[in-house]
């Protein structure tokens, strides 16, 4: 064999079954460690993103709340000249309570459907 050159296929020794199994175990361990590191990094990224998403969601909900309050106040002010201040307040309050009642009834119906779908009972 010439120094510095790879051995020819005739000169190379065939690995034994035990060596093959050991190499397979080393490869499997390296692959498992790489997968673990990848999943750990992925989980850290997801956690950091979840914090940002939650913060943006809270800000959005707060801003929507303030927008709805502005709409309610604006409706009372706009209806004031037509219905008087007390009448405008009563009309807007009744409208909001009606919408809330409709939403509550819809939620109750959906809850009933959910319970029926989960339970074995029909009807």
Give the mean pLDDT of 90-100: 96
- The pLDDT value recorded for residue 4 is 61
Between CA 63 and CA 57 the distance in angstroms is 10
pLDDT at 55: 96
9-67 per-position pLDDT tens digit: 555 578 898 899 999 999 999 999 999 999 999 999 999 999 999 999 999 999 999 99
Map tokens 């029909």 to a residue.
122
**Alpha-carbon span 20 to 6, nearest angstrom:** 20
Query: Taking 90 as the threshold, does the pLDDT of residue 82 lie above it?
Result: yes
Mean pLDDT of the chain: 90
Band of residue 88 on the pLDDT scale cut at 50, 70, 90: very high
Query: Looking at per-residue confidence, does 2 or 105 come out higher?
Result: 105
For residue 97, how many other CB atoms are within 10 A of its CB? 10
Q: pTM to 2 decimals?
A: 0.58
d(CA 13, CA 51): 56
């Amino acid at each position: 064999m010439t120094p510095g050159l790879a051995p020819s296929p005739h000169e190379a020794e065939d690995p034994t079954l035990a060596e093959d199994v050991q190499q397979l175990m080393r490869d499997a361990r390296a692959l498992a460690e790489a997968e673990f590191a990848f999943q750990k990094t992925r989980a850290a990224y997801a956690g950091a993103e979840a914090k940002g998403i939650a913060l943006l969601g809270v800000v959005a909900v707060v801003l929507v709340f303030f927008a709805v309050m502005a709409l309610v106040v604006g409706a009372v002010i706009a209806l004031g000249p037509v219905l008087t201040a007390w009448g405008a307040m009563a009309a807007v309050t009744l409208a909001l309570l009606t919408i809330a009642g409709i939403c509550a009834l819809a939620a109750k119906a959906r809850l009933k459907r959910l319970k029926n779908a989960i339970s074995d009972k029909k009807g």
